[in-house]
Amino acid sequence: MKIGPPPYWLQVVLRFVYPPLAVLVTVAALPLIALGVLLWPLDRRMRLARVVFLAVYFMWEDVSILVQCMWLRVRSPVDRGEDWIAHHEQLVAHALENFFRTAQRVVSFHVVADGEIDLGDPTRPAVVLSRHAGPADSLALAWIIAAKARRVPRVVLAAGLLWDPGLALVLRRLRAYFVPSRSGAGDDRTKGVADLARGLAPRDALLIFPEGRNWTMHRQQAGVEALRAEGEHERAEQAARWRWVLPPRQRGVQAILEARPDADVVVVAHTGLELFDSPGDIWRGIPFGPTEGLVVRTTTYPAGDVPRDPDEVATWLDERWTEVDAWVESHRRPGLRGS
């Protein structure tokens, strides 16, 4: 069940409650970290110490973003110019770099590129369409966009993330779009994505997950059944042949392409995290082995090669997802489904 966003007044309260709460959580976490180290004879991987330390570290990176955002408001109560935006972009890029560098040291998480990371013509904005599978894949892709491609990530996110005070504040100021719940949303979901696309600058990369939710085996099967129930039997048969992706939703992609016909389109395939869909899976996988981690491939399509007609977009998107599915099948780790 999806978590809805908190009301705005509660978001404001959370900004002031969060830092002292982080202090209390840290004090409570220190004995757990020490216990995890002492349990080394029973757990040579020291999972407890690693997981708790990384969670606390992430929390303080988030608190740091929140505090710096508040300071920027005090320092520039009126100015909302280019410098204001640039400072917030630097906050996000710096936090992502710190978190993934720390994750590499603590749990051996690493990202491997299958070929060159190419996000299109740097003089034009890019639209990044990615498979959605595994914990923190959206953060990892935002880090790749910022650190590897030297672009500014603009992200379409679930509204439930507005419960995170630091992320919510900085991403709101950077014009991220938080997708509202389906109930009562009407066409606002598509309109908000289109508005975000219209505001893209040349260095921006708009990251969207057309599947709408993380892949799991159950959701893949449910997606096929949903297409059959809607009478889309031909597409359901095609989706049934996919093993590693969910049927992509066209409307958001169509709205973006109509809003920015000048943008290059990048399709991202990745594998390595898809079966970490429960706390137990993550626990057993930590730390990652030398052959594990996130493997990423990007394929760039120049703006002129991407269709804009709705029917053609739907066909084009399904073709790209067929390619993503085949790539994941050929690059998945040993031991995944079907091995």
Q: Among 324, 157, 312, 163, which Cα is nearest to 239's?
A: 324
Average pLDDT of the chain to the nearest whole number: 88
Which whole number is the average pLDDT over 210-219? 90
**Model pLDDT, residue 185:** 46
Among 284, 269, 95, residue whose Cα is nearest residue 174:
95
Q: Is residue 1 predicted with pLDDT exceeding 90?
A: no
Q: What is the pLDDT of residues 290-337, one digit of tens each?
A: 767 889 999 999 999 999 888 899 999 999 999 999 999 998 765 444
Q: Which residues contact 255 (CB under 8 A, 6 or more apart)?
A: 190, 191, 193, 194, 197
**pLDDT tens for each residue of 64-80:** 999 999 999 888 877 67
What pLDDT is attached to residue 291?
66
218-271 pLDDT, tens per residue?
A: 999 999 999 999 988 988 999 999 999 999 988 889 999 999 999 999 999 999
Confidence of residue 182 (pLDDT cuts 50, 70, 90): low
- pLDDT tens figures, 149-164: 889 888 887 788 889 9
Cis peptide, bond prior to residue 7, ω within 30 of zero: no
Give the CATH number of domain 8-331; options: 3.40.50, 2.60.40, 3.90.1070, 3.40.1130: 3.40.1130
> What DSSP character marks residue 39?
T
pLDDT score of 339 more than 50 = no
Contact indicator for 331, 271 with CB cutoff of 8 Å: yes
Amino acid at 19: P
| CA 331, chain centre distance (Å) | 21
